Amino acid sequence: MTNQECESIEYRWERERMNAIWKFAIIAPGVTELRLPAGARLLRVDAQRDEWGEETAQIWALVASHHPREIRRIHVYATGQEIEDLDRFAYVGTFQMCDDKLVWHVFEELAEQSQKQ
């Protein structure tokens, strides 16, 4: 194997091992500021029970842990709740809590909007 091939494999391994899926608690309803590695991709939102049986809202993100951190604002709205300025958001997902009695809709505030505040 040549040095270039070894370096290529080493680089690929280094890059791949830095990627991970992280989980964060979010506020429902409300706004949560998350400090994520730059370029993180939001994958899923859902309710999850903790070790005491309490149901909490969670969001999972695919991250490159070595990237510098940035603030991302996540907004959670109830079904029927008014959402002002919808064009400043990107839809992330919908999830249910309390035996499906509460339905929440999750949006990420677009970067330009977050930086203005």
Mind listing the pLDDT tens digit for each residue in 51-67?
898 999 999 999 999 99
Residues 6 or more apart whose Cβ sits within 8 Å of residue 26: 32, 34, 45, 57, 58, 59, 74, 76, 106
- Beta-sheet strands, E only, within the chain: 19-26, 30-37, 41-49, 55-64, 69-78, 89-97, 102-109
Please state the pTM of the whole predicted model. Answer: 0.78
DSSP state of 84: S
With CA atoms as reference, report the closest residue to 69 among 115, 36, 20, 40: 36
Of the chain, the percentage scoring pLDDT greater than 90 comes to 73
Give me the mean pLDDT over the 13-36 stretch.
86
Q: Coil, strand or helix: which one is 75?
A: strand
Contact yes or no for 77/110 (Cβ under 8 A): no
Mind listing the pLDDT tens digit for each residue in 73-112?
999 999 999 999 999 999 999 999 999 999 999 999 998 6
Give the separation between CA 95 and CA 106, rounded to whole angstroms. 8
